[in-house]
Amino acid sequence: MRTKSFVSSRYTILYYLRLSRFFDCIATMVHISSILVSFLAGAAVASPPRDVLGRQVSGDNATLAVTGIRYTGEGCPVGSLSGNLDPSGSFDVLYEALNTTIKAGDHKVKVKCQIEVDIQTAADRQLVILSGTYKGHVRLTEGAWAKNQNQYKFKGSRGTINLEWPFKAPIDAATEFTNNLSTEFQSGCNSNGGKFTMIINNYLSMSSDGPGEGEISITELDGVVKQSTKLATAKCP
């Protein structure tokens, strides 16, 4: 009887030892899984967001994203310019200090602002400029003229295009004009994975013949001079 009892107790102890090891193994696996989940969650949180100033999806479902803006010139001192891309595909530039005045006796006044806009789209797409819009306040007396000119080009590509908004005296009003291009201006395709830099050279010039005077300035309603460039994409050949 003692032998049977001893053998039975031995098998019972071995059974509980194996069961204990089994649960220890499961606990270890659960612990490893918890660590892995925590690591993946931490990695997702730690991923830095992209520095994108604006996004939009054009009609052909090709995404555009503005990733950087740089500017220089007497017409746009540091801190006086901002830009954004709206859902319709218009890149808006807002000038807070684009003001030019001409007095009687002055023959010509001219200021410049150069803007570089970094734009990202799909690797198999190119950029297309469709139109430009100017919005600001213009006051001119008889004998004075003014012109706002935007010269567009794409860095690394040949060709430029000019959009001009001329003003003739007498005028004293908030104005808004849109120039639609009869021929689309394309960036051409590149090997940079759909990355382009659009350069805008903005010239604001005024001239006077005799007693003419005036100024081009910000609008009272918006407090800025606004210029918009309508953008789209086209598939590379």
For the chain, which ranges sit under pLDDT 70?
Answer: 1-62, 218-222
Give the pLDDT confidence of 158-205 residue by residue, as tens digits.
899 998 889 999 999 888 888 888 777 999 988 888 999 999 999 989
Residue 46: C-alpha distances to residues 40, 53, 78, 186 (Å): 10, 21, 32, 38
Q: Are residues 187 and 210 in the same domain?
A: yes
pLDDT of residue 145: 94
Q: Are residues 151 and 181 in the same domain?
A: yes
Q: Are residues 189 and 86 in the same domain?
A: yes
pLDDT of residue 57: 42
Q: Are residues 136 and 188 in the same domain?
A: yes
Q: Are residues 117 and 43 in the same domain?
A: no
pLDDT of residue 181: 84
How far, in Å, CA of 69 to CA of 118, rounded? 6
Q: Are residues 92 and 7 in the same domain?
A: no
Residue 100's domain comprises 54-235
Element (H, E) at 162: strand 161-168
Residue 105: C-alpha distances to residues 109, 189, 208 (Å): 11, 49, 7
pTM over cut 0.85:
no
Q: Are residues 36 and 82 in the same domain?
A: no
Q: Which residue carries 């994203």 as its tokens?
A: 65
Q: Where do the H-state alpha helices sit in the chain?
A: 2-46
Tally the C-alpha atoms within 13 A of residue 55's C-alpha that lie toward its C-beta: 8
The number of angstroms, rounded, from the C-alpha of 74 to the middle of its chain's C-alpha atoms is: 23
Q: Are residues 60 and 37 in the same domain?
A: no
Q: How many folded domains does the chain comprise?
A: 2
- DSSP class of residue 48 equals P
Q: Are residues 61 and 42 in the same domain?
A: no
Q: Are residues 41 and 149 in the same domain?
A: no
Tokens of 43: 């990695």
Q: Are residues 89 and 105 in the same domain?
A: yes
Residue 61: C-alpha distances to residues 65, 147, 193, 194, 235 (Å): 13, 36, 17, 15, 11
How far, in Å, CA of 155 to CA of 36, rounded? 46
Q: Are residues 174 and 113 in the same domain?
A: yes
Contact 136, 148 (CB under 8 A): yes
How far, in Å, CA of 218 to CA of 136, rounded? 5
